[in-house]
Structure 1
């Protein structure tokens, strides 16, 4: 039978989880790990703690091993790999808002990838098109689908001339009707 994990904190260590849990900047997983240590110190078993915190017993055991290896300082999440994102600052947002306002007055529409490219070239900001769309939505900008057709830009005079030219090209001079179109 496997040996059960127990945590026995000293008097000085018992204050650490309480002070740690009082912080407001903890992620949900960090808070969960600290709660695991606190409940195990009170004599609960791994399965009881897992039931209380609605997690897997492996999660509870991992929190105990983290705590045993590095104390309360080992409970927070490890830093994420990769380059940190450069935020879209207030100056960048105001320049983007001005561009969109001026473009809207001129009847110009922008796609998110085109705005992303504009930000990269003009402002030196790297951002994904999806995240940019989300930020614009939060700032109150509403997008709409661009038209798939250019019929709204067609010149009616040129269209009529093209229809007349097509009628002249029909064989035998028959007018085009749905019955004889085969």
Structure 2
């Protein structure tokens, strides 16, 4: 679409169908044939709707802990005409429903979670034996000082007010361990 009819989507969503899905072994074929997807931390549902628009035989269940976002996601799915294949639920990453998913996605949310290890365990339990977890997190340098550029400063400022309060560890998350550093060879 172009012009006034074009809907603005987060940058990661724009790369989802043309780049990221084809890069995953066998996932595009499964989605085309008809798969089950859990979009955890879906927010306003942009990625859930985009997957349903691109893969007409696939069913998507989006979940987020924020009830108002889920209400808006349901409206977005209805407006896009995909609400017959996209459902939404208010749930945390540890409590989203369902098992046997062919694909579980998380976009820019794992770092916000108070217990990311429990979220990862829930994803593992929710996946089918040959399922795939697509996890996308913001790119950052290994050293804090290497991130102190205009974009990095903005991200850290936003994280201080938005992510840190959300990511406070839950009592179930103890003992709390620091996040392991990503390997330098990783490309995102």
TM-score for the superposition, normalised by structure 1: 0.21
Q: Considering fraction of residues, name the structure with more helix.
A: 1
Q: Whose relative contact order is higher, 1 or 2, with alpha carbons under 8 Å and at least 6 apart?
A: 2
Q: Report the structure number with the largest CA radius of gyration.
A: 1
Q: Considering fraction of residues, name the structure with more strand.
A: 2
